[in-house]
Structures are given as structure tokens and as C-alpha cells.
Structure 1
Amino acid sequence: MSAHGHGSDEPSLYSAGAVGVPAVYHTDDSATESYPGDKAQELDGSIEGQEFGGGDDDDYLREGERWPTAEDKSTLTRVADRVPRQAFLIIATEFCERFTYYGVSGLFQNYIQNGYKVPGSNPGALGRGKHTAAGLGNFLQFWCYITPILGAVIADQYWGKYRTILVFSVVYLVGDLVLTLTSIPVSIRAGGAFPGLVIAIIIIGLATGAVKSNVSPMVAEQYRRTRPFVRRLKSGREVLVDRDATIQSIFNWFYWAINVGSLSSIATTELEHNVDFWPAYLLPTLMFVVCIGVFWLGRNKYVRTPPTGSIVVKAAKCIATGVRRAYLARRGGPVLVDAQGRRESWIEYAKPSTMAEVPASVTWDDKFVGELRRTLRACKVFLFFPIYWLCYGQMSNNLVAQAGEMNTGSVPNDIIQNLDPICLIIFIPIFDMGIYPALRRCGIVVGPITRIFIGFLLAAVSMAYAAIVQHLVYSAGPYYDSPGSKFNNISAAIQIPAYIFIAWGEIFASISGLEYAYTRAPAAMKSIIMSIYLFTNCGGAILAFCFNPILDDPKLVENFAIAGGLMGAFAFLFYACFWKYDRS
């Protein structure tokens, strides 16, 4: 579930092809490959401690490896290297964190919407209705994706990624405890559950944002080898071990862990349905204790990038300088032109070389401005993601509410949203180990822009289908278009295709966006582009607030139909604007 976890970027798009799953190697016999003695041949220096990033040189050779020739690069099969062991500790940490987040947030729609212990109704606690439930859910999404900027600044400027994740994990645990303690029956009946929920949302959103902005870049940093090399397998066949393919593999494992962790809401919704809310919240709270322990376990093994000053703050100052100087130039100051006599972009005005006197506040050089311009150009792709997140967010609120108006049998209405991660766990390996390799063997490489376009279309189809389902709900008795907290005689199983379509869309759009955010920008700009990518979720939450007036019966058909229509239109506009990026 992307929302949630998820980074990719530039020098080249993905040599390995499209996004996939946890398959460390993409060849039949390399999966059982052993590394001969783990001996290494030095290249300009010692590699002692390389496994955990302890050496100074990240380009080296082990026994059975060599540097590739030009012919090797064009003829050998590109595969991923093994994922470093410490990266798996970070992936396990992300699993625990997502287990906690989805175990808690998956209950919010019922917890807020329905009354406590109302006979014949779905489980609930606050009785605040659909508007408040959707509003607080959208606020949580907004808050969780604006706080990563703060987390990135703290890590880069002061603490580094490791300490930032550890400290905010403790803050996260405090928020979980507040939610758990205020959801006990005596607190609900005394009116303490609602303020406790608001406080918990603020704390959890702050903490998850700080963790989110640092955990995905940190997991990628654990792989230190930068140059491709040739490895001879036990079968005698040679393959080209590629960094881009390895980073892709790491992110596949990372995304896989996110979706397995998100299945926690199956357990918590069952506890909510059969016991009460407080044990349902207690389970993910205890899991977060495990999360902190797992992350702390690797404290002496992680590759740690020391704080060198916040690139986000530096970039913000650079952008402000460029905008201000470009504005003054248009008001009569000296105008910058290129070799062809055309006006330069506003960002060029931030280059120190264009200033008569360089102020002390300018701490960047021309290269920094060039890299920032390149990063901002890549970020244009993200302008279309808020519409996607608007559609994606329907799973955690309006589709849950829709299921609450249908016959679910003995199954809790809010458990059905777990179809999304289940579909991802099933289909990601199929795409990675079946569909994408088959396309590559045919010489077909599906670029990231095409994949994102397909994902957008699938999200649009999901919303269109949900609109049809909602119409069928209103057409069924006995309550027709005014079911309230009751349900009509129509099976919730009819919702399943909506979740399948959104899951397929996630494989194409969300995972590709995550990779694009990490691989598309220069190395020094990764935290900026990741923050911008995560910030697009805020745009989706803001758009969702605009839909609040049509979140009551009988207007939910309009909600899904408008979201699907917008997504479909913007999908084609997106592809028209950026299809050439697949060739860059």
C-alpha cells in the first residue's frame, strides 16, 4: 500500500525493466548462488567491513567477479545483487511499523462513524457519522504526508536517519498508547475517546511521517557498490550484476513488507468485531515495541550517512533566491539569456556566477542549482499523483462505508479493505517473475511513465466500478438509498473487483512512482524528491476534503463517479505530457 511506504529516482531509469517483487536474482540458477569464500580483490583501497559499509571504497571485486567490457554490458543478462543483511533489518522494521499503522487506522471508519454497542449495527465507538469519519481519515492522510518534510530536515540537519527513526519511533509508541488507553469502555462512555483519538492522530501522524521520510532512503543506502560487474555463476554462466536492478530488488522487498504488514487489519478488525476496540489497538501497539527492538538490533551494522545540513532547507533558500532575483529582473533588472538569446529560467538566477556580489546567505554553487533544476523538472511528473491518491484513499473510508451498507455475513465490513494487500502479495511476484521477464525477453521494456499511466487508468476503472456497485446498493432493498447504519440485501463480495483493479493500479503507479522518486534525481537531491513525492499524498487528502458534501447517502455514486472520471482524464493528460521521459 503505497501510501505508505514508499522511493525512486534517476541517472538511468531502471535497467532491470519494470517494477516487481522480491526476487533477489532474476535468473534460474543465480538464486542458489554462493559467493566463493567472500574473498575480495581490492580496488584502490581496503574493503574491510564492506558488508556493513565499513570500508571507504564501495567499488571492489570478490572472487569470481570482474569488471565488464562494453560487449558484456550489451549482451549479458542484468541481474540484482544480493540484498545486504542489514537492509533486511530495516525492511523488518518497516513491516512492524506498517503492521501498527494499518492495524490502527484500518479501524478508524467504524470507530468514528458508528455508535458504541448499538444492537444490529456495525462495531463503533464515537457515533460521529460518515462526514467526521472521512474527514478525520483524510486529515490523518494529509498529516502523515506533510510531516515527512520535517523528518527529512531533522535527519539531514541534526540527527541523521538512524537517530531520527529511533527517536520518532518512541514518539509513535506514545501515540499508540494514548489511542489504546482512551478506547477502553470506561473512557468511551465518559467521552474521553474522541479527544484521545485526535491527540493520537496528531502524534502518530507526526511520528510516521518522520519515520517514512528516512526509512526508504536508508534501506537503499545499505547497498554500497556503485559500478556494474560480471559474476560467474556456479553453472559457469556469466551475468552482469547491476546496481539499478539491485536497488529495484531492495525496494521490491521493502514494498512487499509494507503490504504483508498491512494485513494486520485482518486481525484487528476481527478483534474489534468479536471483542472490543481496546484489544484491537493493543495488538499493533505491542507490535511497535517489536519494531523498535528490531531496528535497534542493527545499530552497529547500518551504513549511516552523517547529517551534513538539510538539503531541503538549502533548496528552499535557493528557490526563494531564484524567484526573487527573477522577479526583480522582470521589473527592470539585468535579464539572463542563453546562447541563443532566449530568457533563462527563473532558477538560473540563483546561480552565484550570475551575481555581482555573492551574499553570505548563498551557501550553494552553480552545480547545486543545476542539480536542483534537474530535480524540479523530474518532479513535474508528480503533479498528477494527487488525483491518484484521491482514488486510492477511497479504500480506507468510502469503500469501507459502502461495505457497511451491504450484506457481509459474519465478516466485518472493514476487513474487506485487506483485499488490496492480498492482491498485491499475489500479483507482484506474478508481474516480477512472469510478465516483466517475458516482456524483456521479447525486447519490450515498459518504462516508468507508461507503467504509471496504466496504473492511473486502472485506478479510474476501480472508481467507475465502485460507482456501479453503489448504484446497485441503492437499488436493493429494504432500505434502498437510505440504509444509514443498516444494510441492503446485496452481497459485499461484489466489491472484490474494485480492490483488484486498485491493487493492479498500485503495482503500476505507486511502486513505479516510488522507484522514480529514488532513481530520477541526483544523489544529493534524493531527500528532496522523496519529500515531494510523499507530499503528493497531501494533495490527495485536500482533494478528498472537497468531496465531503457528497459523502452522505444517496450521493455516494457521484463521489466514486467524479473521482473515476477525473482520474481517467488526467491519466491521458499525464501520458501526453510525459511519454518522452521513458526514452530519456
Structure 2
Amino acid sequence: MTDSIIRADAMLSARRPGVTASSLRTGLESSLRSVYSMGHSALASVAEFPDEELTPFTLACFLVIAVELGERATYYTTKLLYPSFATQMLGMSSSELNILMNFNDFWNYGNPLLGAYLADAFLGRFKAICLGAPIYVLGLSLLVLSSTPLAFGDFPYLEGGWAKIGFWMSITVMGVGCGFIKPCVSVFAAEQLKDENGNDASPRTLEKLYLWWYLAINIGSFVGPVVAPLLSGGTEAGLPNLLPGYEKFQCSGNATLIPACEGYCPGGCTTTPPTPEQFSECCNGPRVALNYWLVWGCWSLPMLLLAFLTFFLGAWRPGYVISPPQGSYLGDFFKALWGAVRCLDNKKPSDGKGMRCFERLKGIPGMPSDRLLDEFRMMLITSSIFLPFSLFWFANSQMYSWGYNQCNPALKISGWVDCNQIQIMNSLAILVTIPIFDFGLYPLLAKFRVRLTHIHKISAGMVIMGCCLLIMGGLQSYINKQGYYSGPSSTSYVYYDPKNYKEHQASVYWQVPIFWLSGVAEVVGNIATLELAYVGSPPSMKSLVMAFGLMTSCGGAIIGFIVNPFYTSSRSIYFQYVTGAITVLMGPTIWFFWRNLRTGRDLMPELFEENLKAVIRTGSMGSLVGQGGGSLMEFRGSLKTSMDGKPGGYEMGSKNAMEALTSLQGSLKKSIQEEGEEEGEE
């Protein structure tokens, strides 16, 4: 009976360290398989509302979070000003702006797929981040140069300069750097919380990590955008344009009534240099920002350099937990994919775990190992939810471009808040909501035994995001009642009563509920995808699955490439209502089709426990080796020390234990052979 309990303890400790068979049920004298089944069932009954111990955050983890804060502050500060820079300085139309923003999302969240593969297979996450840092800095430096008079033919008008080419090049280079950094840092932070045996932190700790990780992202995305418009020169409450002799204004709302402005306004003041008469009579609208070089060069660039310096100092002290690359598995994946396309079948019964087309390849000559096939299955099962979630990020990204087009020039700028800055309500909502959810809502639901799965959260986030666009459509309905768009661009907006247009002009603050609710949607839905990508990925493919999670933004951008060529400001209301309704309906659709999703340890614990039979043997080494060999007895003692919950030993079923077991089994076999040879000689 003692040996049976030891075996059960080994299996259960591999599934959930600290829980033993004897603590659940005594008298387990049946076969080891039935013991494991009973123990696993008992664990499943109590794990729904686990009383898990939180792992304290390490200094290394905080340093990685600080890097993400600085990098995201830089990213969102630059992205926030793209709409005004592209339309008011580079002369892009509304549809061109939408394509630009879609490309930026596509490129920044599509490149992580390549960066994640190189990190997992060849570089390791630490080296991948180190490689991406200088590329990112180079791209941002080019962006700064593109916003200076050196890049314009007739500053502040383009007139043949290379600013537009330099702008596109800078976005492209920064996207490459982001591709190496973005999929690695979130996984790298979680790895800093592993224990001495290489085990991941508890699910509750990871949930807390990614809540506060997302909080750090949005501290960066809040602070940077708050400062940026004040420095850019586009608001009356901020700095003036600092380059002497240069000023630029938009057409005034009543310019269509002035004869000198006929054919020039609306829109002409930002795209075509005005004559002195046009400048004095037509261009009396809001001031156009010219200090982009100041924001990106004296705010964003130093912040990015400080973030990377913090990361490199952390490598020196306190040092990081660095997981080595696992080698390339791309060839094996395509080999398995080709085998699945050819419908190869091993004629064995199914294990009922999904992706049967890959399971059928087990044991077929020329196919990858059974373990690698199971890792591919888990990766694809987890990533399947990311495909429909792309609609979430399409809706989210369009709120920024469609929201800017809606605001400029139809909404009234108030104080220091302009059409760029109103979008920081998204980040502010996230900063407020995360502590409420972490300390209030989620613990309260757990107290009343209400268990929210990742699918529940993702579905709810989708519904909330759809409601944001429906509200935007309602605001657009009011704007359309006060005027019309004479051309495809939002700058062509003309009031029905231009003489008294200020009496009918809605405030920019009408967009607050739209961006506020979008922040709540991200807290509910997007953080759940980050958690799912980490806990639902096999150990050797965490960066890759995280990249698939990030590629939901890329998927949203692809939808944008399809939709936005048909977008014009006069049709915007239809785009907002239809997209909002489809997004709302996608929420319950996701819940219906993925409500029984099982992945990670719940789906294939053997990928984390390595091999069930080997786990059993690591818990019963004494009965296997008897009293032979001091090293074997030392190994068994180390295992028992770990089983008793004290530090310093192997975790049963861990990779270290498996490797040690394999080595010791070889030593045991060799000693038995030598002993047999000695007896034969006698």
C-alpha cells in the first residue's frame, strides 16, 4: 500500500504540486491507473475554485513590466499622432488614413509571428528582445527626421518632399523591431515567476500578472498621449508651434460663405499653400500641429531608450530566468500538415482530444514524434479561438480611424482635448477598470462560486466592443442631421447652417462613452486571450501561441484592408452600425461554439508531466532500484524531499526529473550488466 501511495503522490504532484493522494483519499490499493483516475477526478472537483497561493512578483519580473510600459508608451504616442500627421501634414484622405492605420496594425502584430518562431526555435526570448531593440530605435529615429522641415518641400506643406516616403519607411522598420519584442516580453515576464524546479506560477498568479501587465501597457498608452498633443502645438492650451515663421490652420466652419474660399475650402488650408488673402479669410479654424519632431524626438525616443536601458541593466542585476531555444519545429509542422492533408491514418482509436487529423499521424514512419504531434494539436486548439476574435480588433482599430474622421472637423474642440487626445479615454478606462476587477469583481464572483472561463470573458468583451460602435453610429446620426460631406474625406464636411454652425456643433466629449467602453472591453476580452495564450500553449511553443494571440490585431487589419477601400465619410454611419451589430452577435456565437474548450494541462497533462509511466517511476525509485547505488538513493531522497513540499529537490514528473531518471536508468542497466558479468566470471 505504501508503494501505491508513493506512486499516486508522484502523479498528483506532477498534476498539482503540493496535493498528494494521501491527502485526498487513503487506502488506494487498486491499480496505478485507477489510482491516477480517482486522484485526477478528485482534483477536478476541487480545482474549479482553487485556493491558490499567489507567487510574489520578482524584481526581474517588474523590470520586464517596466520595459513594456516604456515601449508601449512610445508605440501609442507615435500611433496617436498618425491620423493628424497623415491628414494635415501629408495630405492623406480619410480612406488612405484608414488603410494606413490598418497597415500599421497588420505590420506590428503580424511580424510577431516570425519573431516568435525565431525566438522559440533559434534565439531564445532574451536574445530576440535584444535584437529587436536597435531596429525599433532606428525606425523611430527615421520617423523623427520625417517630421522635420528637412523632409518637406515647402514646410509645412509637402510639395514634393520625401516626408511621406520616410514616414512609411519608419513605420515599416519599427514594425520589424516590434515583431521581435512584442511576442517575447509577456512570456519572458511570466518566466521570471517560475520556481527553482522550473514550474510555472499558479493560474491565479498568472491572471494577476496579466491584469497588471495590461495596466502597465495602458499607463504607458495614457501618459504618452496625454503629453503628446500638448507638445505638438495642435491645442490652444498646449505649446505653440516652436519653429519660427511657420503656422498652419484649418478652414473655418463658415468658410463656404466667403467668396475668396470658394473651391479652396473645405480642406484646402491643410493641403495647399494659401494665398495671403485665403490665409487671412479662410484659414481661421483650429491650429494645425507642427511640433511632431518635438514629440517623437524629445519624448518618444528618450522613453524608448530608457526602457531598453532598464531591460539591459536587469540582465546584469538581478539577472533573468532565460529559457534556451527549443530548436526549429517548422519543418516538422509542415510535414505533419502535409500528412493531415493527405489523410494519412494509423487506424488507432481516438483519444477524443480534438485535431484528430494530427492524432492519426502518430506512429506513421516519417512523421514527427507523438509528443510533438500533441504539441501541434494543443497549439492549434488554443489558437482556434483567435480567428473570430480578430473581429474584436477590427472594431477596436476602426474606432480610432473612424473616430478621428468623425471628430475632425465636425466636433467642437474643448480646451486641451482634441480629436487625438479624446482617444486616451480608452487607456484611462483600463487604468480604472483593472484594479476594480482584480480586487473587487473577480474575487467577489469567486466568493459566490461563479467561475468565469476565458470563453466567458472573450464573449463578453466582444459584445461590449460592438456596443461602442453602435454608440458611435448614434453620434454620427446627429452629425449627419447638422450637415453633409461634399467629398470622400471628413474635411469636406459642410454645415446646413454655416452662419450659425457653432450652435449645432457637438462637443468632442460626446465620444467619451465610446472610448471608455472600448477600454472596459479590452480588460474583459483581450486580457483573457493573453492568459489563454500562455496557459493553453505547450512549453516549447509559448512565444508562438502568444504571437497567434497578438495576430488577432493583424487579422483585424486584414478585415480593414477589405472593408476600408469602400469607406467614405458620407457612408460612415452604415459602416459603424453594421460593424457594431455583427460584433455584438459574434459574442454569443463564440460562446456557443467554444464553450467547452479544453486546453493546456486540462487537455493534455502528459505534455507537462512528460510521461505518465516515467512520472510513476520517479515516485517509486526505491522499489525499482532497491538498495543499489548511492546516486540512485540520493535521487530518490531528492524526489521525496520535493514530494514533502520542502525546497531543494526535483519536482516529480518535471523535465529535470525525467532527464535524471533517464540517466539513472542507464546507470542502473549498466551496473546490472556489470554485476552479471562479475557473477559469470566467478
Determine if the TM-score, normalized by the shorter chain, exceeds 0.5: yes
**Mapped partners of 1:429, 1:520: distance in 2:** 25
Give the direction of change, closer, same or farther, for the CA distance of 1:220–1:490 in structure 2 (3 Å limit).
Answer: same
Match of 1:224 among 194, 206, 227: 194
Kindly provide the amino acid, as one letter, of the partner of residue 261 in structure 1.
Answer: G
Q: Tell me which residue corresponds to 2:102.
A: 138
Query: Retained in 2: the 8 A contact 1:106–1:269?
Result: no
Query: 1:401 is matched with which residue: 375, 398, 405?
Result: 405
- The match for 2:86 is 112
Task: Determine which structure has greater relative contact order: mean sequence separation of CA pairs < 8 Å that are 6+ residues apart, divided by chain length.
Answer: 1
- Does 1:81 find its partner at 2:69? no
2:146–2:166 CA contact under 8 A, matched in 1: yes
Worse-superposed segment, 277-286 or 475-484:
475-484
2:349 counterpart letter in structure 1:
A
CA 322–388 in structure 1, closer or farther in 2 if over 3 Å, else same: same
Q: Which residue does 1:391 correspond to in 2?
A: 395
AA aligned to 1:303 is: V
Change (3 A) 1:581 1:339: closer
Per the alignment, residue 98 of structure 1 pairs with 72
Q: Distance in 1 between matches of 2:293 and 2:420?
A: 16
> What's the secondary structure of 1:298's corresponding residue?
helix
**Contact in 2 for aligned 1:550/1:556 (Cα 8 Å):** no
Describe the shift of the 1:319–1:537 C-alpha distance in structure 2 as closer, same or farther (beyond 3 A).
farther
> How far does residue 534 in structure 1 lie from its aligned partner after superposition?
1.6
Paired residue for 1:449, among 449, 455, 464? 455
Tell me the SS of whatever aligns to 1:78. coil
The farther-off stretch of 394-403 and 216-225 is 394-403
Contact 1:152–1:310 (Cα < 8 Å) also in 2 = no
Q: Does structure 1 conserve the Cα–Cα contact (< 8 Å) formed by 2:470 and 2:577?
A: yes
Choose from 323, 343, 348 the match for 2:359: 348
- The question of whether the paired residues in 1 share the 8 Å contact of 2:462 and 2:521 is answered with yes
DSSP 3-state at the match of 1:464:
helix
> Is 1:256–2:215 an aligned residue pair?
yes
Is 1:510 the counterpart of 2:526 in the alignment?
yes
Retained in 2: the 8 A contact 1:226–1:243?
A: no
CA distance in 2: counterparts of 1:346 and 1:260, whole angstroms:
44
Q: Deviations over 1:379-432 (max 9, x none)?
A: 221121111111111233111221222112232211011000100000111111
**SS of the residue 1:106 aligns to:** helix
- Corresponding residue of 1:376: 380
Deviation at 1:341, TM superposition (A): 13
Aligned partner of 1:484 among 487, 491, 496: 491
- Within the candidate set 326, 330, 345, 1:308 is matched to 326
Counterpart contact for 1:171–1:203, Cα < 8 Å: yes
1:122-157: per-residue Cα shift (whole Å, max 9, x none)? xxx111111111111100111111111111122223
Alpha-carbon distance in structure 2 between the residues aligned to 1:242 and 1:302: 16
Query: Residues 510-547 of structure 1: CA distance to partner in whole angstroms, max 9, x if unpaired?
Result: 00011111111222232232122122222110111222
Taking structure 1 as reference, are residues 88 and 70 closer, same or farther at Cα in structure 2, changes over 3 Å only? farther
> Residue 486 of structure 1: CA displacement?
6.0
Matched, 1:365 2:372: no
Matching residue of 2:162: 192
Given the alignment, which residue of 179, 182, 190 partners 2:143?
179
- Deviation, 1:67, is 13
Q: Is the 8 A contact 2:90 2:163 kept in 1?
A: yes
Matched, 1:322 2:339: yes
Alpha-carbon distance in 2 for matches of 1:207, 1:186: 25
Supply the RMSD in Å over aligned alpha carbons: 3.2
- State how far apart, in whole Å, the 1-side matches of 2:482 and 2:22 are: 66
CA-CA distance at 1:571 after TM superposition: 1.6
- Kindly provide the CA deviation profile for residues 194-231 of structure 1, in whole angstroms up to 9, marking residues without a partner as x: 011110011011111210011111111111128999xx
Instruction: Name the residue aligned to 1:23.
Output: none
2:296 equivalent in structure 1? 281
Distance 2:374 2:107 in 1: 31
Letter in 2 for 1:516: L
Out of 76-85 and 406-415, give the one that drifted further. Answer: 76-85
Structure 2 SS opposite 1:446: coil
Distance 1:261 1:320, change over 3 A: same
Deviating more after overlay: 429-438 vs 75-84: 75-84
| CA–CA separation in structure 2 for the residues paired with 1:533 and 1:479 | 38
Q: How many residue pairs get matched? A: 489
Secondary structure of the structure 2 residue equivalent to 1:555: helix
1:477 positional shift:
4.6
Change in Cα spacing, 1:340 to 1:208, as seen in structure 2 (3 Å) is closer
For residue 455 of structure 1, report the CA deviation from its aligned partner.
0.6
What displacement does 1:500 show?
Answer: 2.0
**Cα pair 1:321 1:349 within 8 Å, conserved:** no
TM normalised by structure 2 equals 0.67
Q: TM-score, normalised by structure 1?
A: 0.77
Greater Rg by CA: 2
CA contact (8 A) 2:54 2:204 kept: yes
Match of 1:524 in 2: 540
Amino acid at match of 1:370: D
Which of residues 531, 538, 548 in structure 1 aligns to 2:564?
Answer: 548
Instruction: Find the partner of 1:207 among 174, 177, 182.
Output: 177
Q: Tell me how far 1:82 sits from its aligned partner.
A: 0.8
- CA shift, 1:566, in A, is 1.6
Letter paired with 1:209: G
2:440 is the counterpart of 1:434: yes
Three-state SS of the structure 2 residue aligned to 1:294 is helix
1:244 is displaced (CA, Å) by 1.2
Contiguous gaps of at least 5 residues in structure 1: 1-58, 115-124, 230-240, 330-334
**How far apart are the structure 2 equivalents of 1:338 and 1:78?**
39
Counterpart residue number, 1:53: none
**Retained in 2: the 8 A contact 1:106–1:414?**
yes
83-92 or 530-539: bigger deviation: 530-539
Query: Residue 382 of structure 2 contacts residue 536 of structure 2 at CA under 8 Å; is this kept in 1?
Result: yes
Q: How does 1:12-161 map to 2 (within 5 A)?
A: 69-70=23-24, 77-114=51-88, 125-161=89-125
Deviation at 1:457, TM superposition (A): 0.5
SS at match of 1:530: helix
The more displaced of 394-403 and 471-480 is 471-480
**Using a 3 Å threshold, how does the CA distance of structure 1 residues 68 and 534 change in structure 2: closer, same or farther?**
farther
Aligned mates of 1:392, 1:564 — CA distance in 2: 10
* Distance change (3 Å), C-alpha of 1:391 and 1:68: farther
Describe the shift of the 1:581–1:484 C-alpha distance in structure 2 as closer, same or farther (beyond 3 A).
same
Q: Distance in 1 between matches of 2:129 and 2:170?
A: 18
